[in-house]
């Protein structure tokens, strides 16, 4: 298993093409760029904590394929306990980073593909599952970070992939030969892509027969010929070039360093292809991946919310109103919501079931309900935190003003709260709250792992409304009609 330092050093040998603000970075300098460095540090924690005796029970596990001790982020879930430990691990890492550490998407991708390829092979007599097992072994042996790549740009949302005016709006196969396939298109909003080793391409939606070329899943190195990455902007990201305080979370960044990944006729050998035209299984893969990924959010967002709650409480301490009854009540309300998010993730894990492949899958109904709660409750948690933090979280002068020999004394004087607390400490906490509760962080809570409507569709489909109706009729003493009973 890699250490955090070994992970970072392993990224330097890539020949990756990354553009930031229109400029192509030198590949060896990508991970040191101010916009990217914090995200690298956050991901490094998923490696470093595996070597800490205090966290190794959550961070490591025995591979069912090799019998070796591995990092949990490369594991295929073998029990309900694995699913539960995953959620606990995510909350623990979030409490240490206060942000996204990006490795979950690839983790969920390999688990979704593992069970889906098994069932594909059973029905179609293909050999995708054996390829997938070999790929997982490779991933475990080398402890690599794999970025899950599902979201396509989609173009005109009213049209299916094959109906788009521009066929590249969805990743698709443009050539098949004896050696492999050639794919073209792009993946958008890719978390942790520029500091990963490889990516796992997946279809972004269920497919019909006419979409055959778009039903593709494969593994591609992030620096493969024909691949380039355009790094996304974040709220206040230029502050990363201007010191430490104004960033809020200078060491680990905010959210996951997303980018647009462009695939210009990229060759993929057959041994790294896990779906190629099997449209009947595209929907299964999407739903399994989405459910695994939505399972995460009560863990990771529960942990991030722990930091937001702590920051709000510290701001109240620093400002002198921590003992006010309404402040205590607001903090308790935030705690209640954070634990509600966590409870859903634990519940969908505890209700998980074994798949035909032997791996374990979460309860999809509870996973989708949990993620839908995140799209609402995070906004409420952050709203209360901003209320407690006060207006200065949005209007503070800069770190440069604080350091200025002429005007710094005024910043120091007039932004002082409790006399015993240094003004700089109060500014640091205010900036942490500002960056964690606004802009990029909030939008990611809404749309990460799927927008709210995606969860509504899933839990509406899975909730078995007809059963609820029959239960109510039975209690009321109403005998169902034949057609209703049949349902």
Residues making up the binding site for FAD: 191
326 is catalytic: no
Which one of 7, 114, 297, 342 is the catalytic residue? 297
* Catalytic residue check, 318: no
Spot the catalytic one: 218, 259, 276, 300.
300
98 by Cβ neighbours in 10 Å (0-12 / 13-18 / 19+) ranks as: buried
Judge whether 293 counts as a catalytic residue: yes
3-class DSSP state of 320: coil
Angle at 398 between CA 393 and CA 402, to 5 degrees: 110
Cross-sheet strand order for the sheet of 18-20: 23-24, 18-20, 227-231, 259-269, 180-190, 172-176
471 is annotated as an active-site residue: no
Active site residue 300: yes
Give the ranges where 437-479 is alpha helix by DSSP (H).
439-447, 452-462, 465-476
How would you classify residue 257: left for phi > 0, otherwise alpha for psi between -120 and 50, otherwise beta?
Answer: left
What does each C-alpha distance from 431 to 87, 234, 247, 396, 437 come to in angstroms?
A: 28, 15, 7, 8, 10
Active site residue 191: yes
Contacts of 321 (CB under 8 A, 6+ apart): 327
The encoded tokens of residue 351 equal: 């209700």
Q: Which of 48, 198, 258, 434 is catalytic?
A: 258
The pairing of strands 146-149 and 198-201 is parallel
278 is catalytic: no
C-alpha triplet 94, 252, 398: angle, nearest 5°: 125
Q: Per the residue annotation, which of 172, 293, 372, 399 is the catalytic one?
A: 293
Among candidate residues 278, 287, 434, 444, the one labeled active-site is: 444
The angle formed by the CA atoms of residues 266, 125 and 286, to the nearest 5 degrees, is 55
Give the N- to C-terminal CA distance of the chain in Å, as an integer: 52
Measured CA to CA, the distance from residue 60 to residue 53 in angstroms comes to 10
**Interatomic CA distance for residues 219 and 174, integer angstroms:** 16
Selecting among 97, 151, 191, 261, the annotated active-site residue is: 191
The answer to whether residues 199 and 229 touch, using CB atoms and an 8 Å cutoff, is: no
Helix (H, G, I), strand (E, B) or coil at 73: helix
Catalytic residue check, 276: no
Q: At what angle do helices 439-447 and 364-389 cross, to 10 degrees?
A: 160
**Catalytic residue chosen out of the listed positions 33, 46, 101, 104:** 104
Burial of 26 (0-12, 13-18, 19+ CB in 10 A): exposed
Give the active site residues.
Answer: 100, 104, 191, 258, 293, 297, 300, 444
């Amino acid at each position: 298993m890699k250490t955090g330092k070994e992970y970072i050093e392993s990224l330097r040998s890539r020949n990756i093409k990354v553009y930031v603000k229109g400029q192509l970075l030198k590949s060896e300098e990508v991970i040191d760029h101010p916009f990217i460095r914090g995200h690298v540090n956050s991901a490094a924690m998923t490696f470093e904590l595996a070597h800490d005796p205090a966290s190794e029970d959550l961070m490591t596990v025995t591979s069912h394929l090799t019998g070796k001790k591995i990092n949990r982020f490369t594991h295929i879930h073998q029990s309900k306990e694995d699913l539960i430990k995953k959620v606990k691990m995510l909350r623990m890492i979030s409490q240490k980073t206060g942000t996204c550490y990006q490795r979950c998407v690839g983790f969920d991708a390999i688990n979704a593909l593992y069970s889906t390829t098994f069932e594909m092979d059973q029905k179609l007599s293909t050999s995708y599952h054996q390829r997938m097992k070999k790929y997982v072994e490779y991933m475990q042996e080398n402890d690599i970070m794999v970025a899950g790549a599902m979201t396509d740009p989609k173009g005109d949302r009213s049209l299916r992939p094959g109906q788009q005016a521009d066929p590249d709006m969805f990743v698709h196969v443009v050539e098949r030969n004896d050696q492999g396939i050639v794919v073209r298109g792009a993946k958008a909003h890719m978390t942790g892509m520029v500091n990963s080793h490889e990516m796992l391409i997946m279809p972004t939606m269920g497919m019909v027969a006419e979409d055959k070329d778009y039903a593709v899943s494969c593994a591609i190195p992030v620096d493969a010929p024909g691949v380039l990455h355009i790094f996304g902007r974040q709220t206040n990201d230029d502050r990363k070039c201007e010191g430490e305080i104004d960033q809020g979370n200078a060491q680990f960044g905010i959210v996951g360093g997303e980018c647009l990944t462009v695939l210009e006729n990229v060759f993929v050998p057959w041994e790294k292809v896990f779906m190629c035209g099997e449209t009947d299984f595209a929907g299964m893969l999407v739903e399994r991946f989405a459910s695994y990924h939505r399972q995460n959010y009560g863990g990771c967002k529960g942990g991030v919310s722990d930091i937001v709650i702590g920051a709000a409480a510290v701001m109240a301490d620093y400002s002198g109103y921590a003992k006010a009854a309404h402040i205590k009540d607001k903090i308790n309300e935030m705690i209640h919501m954070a634990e509600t998010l966590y409870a859903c993730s634990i519940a969908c894990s505890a209700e998980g079931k074994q798949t035909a492949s032997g791996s374990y899958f979460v309860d999809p109904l509870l996973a989708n309900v949990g993620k839908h709660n995140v799209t609402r409750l995070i906004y409420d948690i952050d709203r209360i935190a901003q209320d407690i933090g006060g207006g200065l979280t949005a209007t503070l002068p800069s770190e440069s003003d604080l350091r200025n020999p002429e005007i710094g004394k005024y910043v120091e004087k007039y932004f002082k709260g409790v006399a015993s607390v240094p003004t700089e400490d109060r500014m640091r906490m205010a900036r942490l709250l500002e960056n964690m509760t606004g802009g990029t962080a909030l939008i990611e809570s809404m749309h990460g792992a799927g927008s709210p409507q995606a969860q509504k569709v899933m839990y509406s489909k899975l909730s078995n409304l007809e059963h609820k109706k029959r239960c109510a009729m039975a209690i009321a003493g109403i005998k169902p009609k034949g057609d209703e009973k049949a349902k």
